[in-house]
Every structure is written in structure tokens, then in C-alpha cells.
Structure 1
């Protein structure tokens, strides 16, 4: 697996009717595929996230949507960024992502994390538990899922889950990649060192040197060469051929969160979501990605273009600007 350039869709709410919704999603993923993106991601949520929109805004179930995308694309890898472990029995999740791999002809990636959105858990009736419990459950889940993806039967008796000689057939391959997503320097990075092929680091860009130091320490503790664990960064990209228009979109979006960039010092700015944003023309965004992410030692980039990624041509322009930097 290699994910050097990925595209994540953060919302599905840019059409005038529900019937137009999934064709618009297909169009975005096909544009990403044509532009040379390695992977396309949807979120695994049931409600829209608080910093993006209201809970009732459109949100598709991840694996149903990914299976639909598999039949509409040919090359691009498909994944959730990331699957909430608490939403599915782990053996069933192994079966689900393996079925996606069969449907897509070997293009599935299991992106997984501990889960965090309490409102969804409460209203859907999923047990939320404590922070520590959710990571205990993720650890157990990975001990079940990993062998099932590798062609082995899973027998496991843990505090949270159990399996008995669980089979997972059919499979296209025995090396379906596992991607962990998050920023936790102890728990998430430790599990990535033990189980993952890829770690998508979610944090402010200025934190990346510290995050990589922590990841290398977790790899040392696990006896793993960090060079064998691919890394990427989730970047919030606001792009337009008119850089001033892109910066206006950024200013407007931050204003809705009560943030006035013009009044902040550089240190204060680095403490806000603006430190995850890459804003300007495609060329300006590419330069920012190079200096703020790739030059720090991160292998790849996953872009989230909530402002205008749904506009035809925007994904292509970003792909053309970023693809040469991550080959």
C-alpha cells in the first residue's frame, strides 16, 4: 500500500436533492482518481461533525457508500478516515472491509480509530465508555481483525470482545492494509507501531516534529523500524485560482467559529484550527504543504477541501499541484 496523496470528503451536503447526492460523491472521487490521488476517504459518522455543520446535515453510512464507489471507479484505493471501532463488532468489521476489497478488486484500506463522537453513541445506543475503555476496545479489536485480514482464523477471549475460530472468506489478498488515524502520542501511536501499515496524523501542523519524535519512540518500544510505517497528515485545504478569494473563504469560515486571524499573534494562530489549514492558489498550497509537512519528515498528505472540493475542477487542480511532490 502507498498513500502519498489522499482525498477526504468531509460532507455530502452540496446538492439540492438527496437523489443528486451520491452522483455528486461519485463525481468527486472520479475526479480525484483522474488527478492521480492514491486514495479516497469518507468519514465514518452518522451525524455531521460539530465544527463542520449541524448534526442533521447529510451523512452517509461509510461502507455502503464505499461499496458504491468501488463500482464507479477503477484504480483509486477506498477507505474510511477513520472507522469508529465502537460502531461495529470487530469480526464483522473484518468481514465488511474484506467484502469491500472483493467488490473493489483489491482496493480497500481499513482505516480505524477508537471513536470519539459522544452524541452519535448516545443517540444510536452505542456504548461510549471512557477514553481508556475505548482504546482498550480498539486494542482488542485489532487483535481480532488483523489475523482475519491475513487469512487466519481468529480465536480471542478479551474483556470487550470474543471470537471462536472466526473465518473470513473470501479474500482477494492476505495483506489488506491497516491505517490508524489520530494524534495520541502514547495510545494511538503505540497501536500504530504494533498493528498498522500507515498512520494518518491528525494534529496542528506545528506539532508535527514532536509527533514524529513520539512515533519513533513508540516504534522503538515495539521493536519496529519506523521506516516501515508510512505516515500522512490530514490537511484542511482552502484553494482557489484567486488566492485572495481562498483567503476570504478561510476568514469567513474562521469567523463563524469566533476566530479573527487578524487579531492573533503567530503563537496564538498556531493554537487554532488555522494551523491545520493550507490556503491560497494551488501553487501556494503546494509550497505550504512542502515546508510545513513534507519537509518535517511526513511521507504524504490527505486533503480535506470542505469549502469548495465539490466544485468541478478544484480537486484536479490540487492534485496537479501536489502529485509531483509526493511521488
Structure 2
């Protein structure tokens, strides 16, 4: 089982002038200590679960490019880019650029978008939910063309691309089955989101909650209907460590919780926990990662990890 780290907030000592210093140190430490992945949110404003809208929030892809320059191994992605934030063709170029400059370490994390306040605040159109899902499916189709080198025109209801040229092509994984940045689709909507995962995704991202087993079961059902091997999809879960199971204070509880996730079939747990910028925080998480490295998620062979 793999363990990643998400950095969802930037309200750190020293204020904005020290954000780069803290983020660079977090990225280097996570990389050096062997964590599997590093993630940031892709939002204009901070979200309520992490603080106030006025708290510092930096651009997701600028942050990942900065992190790429401070690291050499760790995978990099957003949780998640809202489909409304960028035109699909530009998003494809953006993720490809991150992938090329990082040596093939990018994920594309994407979802249907939900934070209406930030759209209104900055004047970004926020279509109704049904249209956002239509745009998400078209974006996934366009990104698939761009990542595969298909330059033929695309004519959808919402997007028209005369020539989706993408040069250079992304480097992606050293894996013939996934010759591009893995496309991770965030969300757990049973009718639309999980169907899109089964049809277009290389990975899903679902919140760690009591209904996780049901969500994975629904994903499996969509895969069966689409004749897609369920095992091909990387199951990632966003989990939040609190003081009750913080690896700095209770590493055994952290390990036990992650083992339970693996028993459900989760391949990759992505952790948010308070004080990630403090001394020893990432080291404690890395110790937990080492203890679960040999845990094989349900339905996986050890070699496939």
C-alpha cells in the first residue's frame, strides 16, 4: 500500500513571504523520506473545512511546478482540478508540461467542481451541475486524445478543438499500459462520477468515510457493465488524521486505520493532518508509510503495486 501527503492549507508561520520556504521543505522531506505522492488543492479561495476563504490559497499547478523543482521521485497531482477552472486544451498542456519537467511524475486530478463562491468572486462561469458533468466527460475525452497524440478535430457540445496538438507528449509512467499521466477522477457520485471513473479514469479519489465500501462496490458494478477490469483502476482515498490517530502521537492507530483501508481494496491513501509544516511531522508519516509498504490491498498482487 502506498501513502501520499496532501497540503491543503498555507497559513504558516511567517505569512506569505515564508510559504515558499515551508512548501519547498515539505516537498523535499516527503521526497527524501519515500512518500509516494504529494498533492495540493486546486482552488481560488480556501475551503471552509480548512479555514476561511481569506486564508492564503496558492495556484495548484504553480505549487506543483515549484515542488517538482525541489524533488526527484515523488508523484505530483491536484485534488482536484475543477472542470470549470481551465479550458480542456489548456489543461492538457499544463499537465503535460508538469509531467515533462518533472520527469514523468504528474497525475491529472480532475472533478466536476463545486465551490460556487470562488467562481462568483473571481468572475468564473459556474454552470449548473448537469452541464458541469457534460463538460467533465468532454474534457476527459479531449485529454485522452491529447495524451495519445491524436490530433484529429474534436467537436463536442461545449468544446470544439480544430487540432488538439500536444507537443511534447507527456512522459507518464514507465508502464506500457499507462503511457501518460494517470487520470484521477475525484468524487463519489454513484450515477455519474463513478461511471466516468470506470469509463475514462486510471484512478479514483474517494473520501474516507463509512460508505467507502459501498462506493467501491458501485465502481465495480460500473466496471462490469463497461467490461473494464476493476483491478486496472487505482483506488485512492483522501483521509484526514486527527489528534486521535496522528502519526506523531499514535502511530499504531494510524497503521491500523490504513490496514483497514487496504482490506477494502484501497491502493493509495492520501493523508492530510494538522501541522504538516512542523518539525518531525513528515518523518512520523514516513515511519507509518514504511510499516504499511508490504500491505497488499484486497484484490492486488504484490508485484502490481
TM-score (norm 2): 0.89
Aligned to 1:214: 218
* Pairs within 5 Å for 1:109-120: 109-120=107-118
- Structure 1 consecutive aligned stretches of length 4 or more whose deviation exceeds 4 Å: 277-280
Instruction: Note the residue ranges of structure 1 that are not aligned, 5 or more in a row.
Output: 239-245, 251-276
Residue 282 of structure 2 is aligned to residue 315 of structure 1: yes
Aligned to 2:202: 197
Question: 1:326 deviation in Å?
Answer: 3.9
Between the aligned partners of 2:154 and 2:212, the Cα distance in structure 1 is 36
**1:177 match:** 182
Taking the TM superposition and a 5 Å limit, the aligned residue runs for 1:1-327 are: 4-173=2-171, 174-204=179-209, 206-238=210-242, 246-247=243-244, 281-291=250-260, 293-305=261-273, 307-327=274-294
In structure 2, C-alpha distance between the alignment counterparts of 1:151 and 1:157, rounded to whole Å:
17
RMSD (Å) for aligned C-alpha atoms? 1.8
Aligned pair count reads 287
Distance 1:188 1:154, change over 3 A: farther
SS of the residue 1:43 aligns to? strand
Higher deviation after alignment, 277-286 or 94-103:
277-286
TM-superposition CA deviations, 1:30-85 (whole Å, max 9, x none) = 12112211110010001110121111100001111111111111111111111111
Paired residues of 1:110 and 1:176 also in contact (CA < 8 A): yes
More helix by share: 1
SS in 1 for 2:211: helix
Residues 4, 232 of structure 1: 8 Å contact kept = no
TM-score by length of 1: 0.84
Could you tell me whether the CA contact under 8 Å between 2:2 and 2:289 is conserved in 1? no
SS at match of 1:29: helix
